[in-house]
Amino acid sequence: MIDELIACGVDVLNIQDLVNGVKEIAESCRGRVAVELDIDRQQVTPGGNRRDIEDLIREEVECLGSPEGGLALFYELYPGVPVENIRALMDAMERNSGVRRSP
């Protein structure tokens, strides 16, 4: 379906990471269309640890990111996600994007 959407002129796809597979998304989208990546909210972010979350975000940025752009990380926070996991997610996103919080 991604090929058909791109052929229709879609510029940005909002697509779920783990459901669709990060490597599969890269194969289908990288260099062809911008990806607004919907970060996992069913497995890793609610139930993983800091390392799991860091590894997920790093893999996603390494597979889909480029200096030319085309990748935005998107996360919907649902009840039940531990505060420490929310902090780990934000830290991982900042660390892997090069963006830093103001003091």
Q: What digits encode the pLDDT tens for the residues 47-100?
A: 999 999 999 999 999 999 877 678 999 999 999 999 999 999 999 999 998 654
Residue 86 lies in a domain: yes
Residue 87 lies in a domain: yes
Please indicate, yes or no, if residue 103 is contained in any of the structural domains: no
pTM as predicted: 0.87
Cα 51 from chain centre? 16
In a domain, 16, yes or no: yes
Residue 102 lies in a domain: no
Residue 45 confidence (pLDDT) above 90: yes
In a domain, residue 74? The reply is yes
The total domain count for the chain is 1
Beta strand extents in the chain (DSSP E only)? 12-16, 34-38, 71-74
The Cα 64–Cα 72 span in angstroms is 10
In a domain, 69, yes or no: yes
Domain that holds residue 23: 2-97
Tokens 């420490």 -> residue: 84
51: part of which helix (H) or strand (E)? helix 50-64
Q: Place 101 in a pLDDT band, splitting at 50, 70 and 90.
A: very low
